[in-house]
Amino acid sequence: MSDVVIVGGGPAGLTAALFAQKNGLEATVLDTDGTWLHKAHLFNYPGIGSVDGSAFLETLREQVDSFEVERLQGTEATDVEQADERFRVETDDDDVEGRYLVLATGAKRDLAEALGCAFDGDVVDVDVTMETSVDGAYATGAMVRAEEWQAVISAGDGAAAALNILSEEKGEHYHDFDVPSDADAVFGGMADGE
């Protein structure tokens, strides 16, 4: 069982996985590779001058993989339920369980509906931490916004969800703020080309 099960491998899902795993929680991502990012070219993502969406996604996957996130590529979630303080996500293969759930499936909201999340019109109703009406379940990106479907917004939603989960786990408000020495410790070998 993972600490956090994330359904969706676009900017929101991968960012949630990165923040969770980097800070000591085990994250599992179910990714069908259906993200809209493959149709995008990013000129409006801060820090990125210009990059093809698929190339950006590959870099993000490599970053997540470097923290040893369990990324189940090609695995589709078919249903979800909450029982005994955990979430069980059904797939065509094996079920995946976790104490927290992050839904990052773009505008596809059927899993949120199956889980019984409250809606505000056509979008999933969340608070500022991206938590839904179901304790421990989060929704991100286009699931919660009628029109603001941007990679950078989705990534921020994924980060907000993961930081709230980390705050819950640590019992105090948690910040993911690195300094240069952190980067040297984590990425020193990679920076040297090793």
In the DSSP assignment, the letter for residue 47 is T
CA-nearest of 107, 110, 89 to 154 is 107
Low-confidence ranges of the chain (pLDDT < 50): 192-194
Q: What is the tens place of the pLDDT at every residue in 107-118?
A: 899 999 999 999
Alpha-carbon distance of 31 to 42, in angstroms, equals: 21
Alpha-carbon distance of 194 to 9, in angstroms, equals: 28
Pairing of strands 123-124, 27-31: unpaired
CA-nearest of 43, 81, 59, 80 to 11 is 59
Q: For residue 149, what pLDDT is reported?
A: 75
What sign results for the dihedral spanned by CA atoms 93, 142, 11, 165?
Answer: negative
Specify burial of residue 192 (Cβ count, 10 A radius: 0-12, 13-18, 19+): exposed
Extract long-range pairs of 114-120: CB within 8 Å, 24+ residues apart: 114/79, 114/80, 114/81, 115/80, 115/81, 115/82
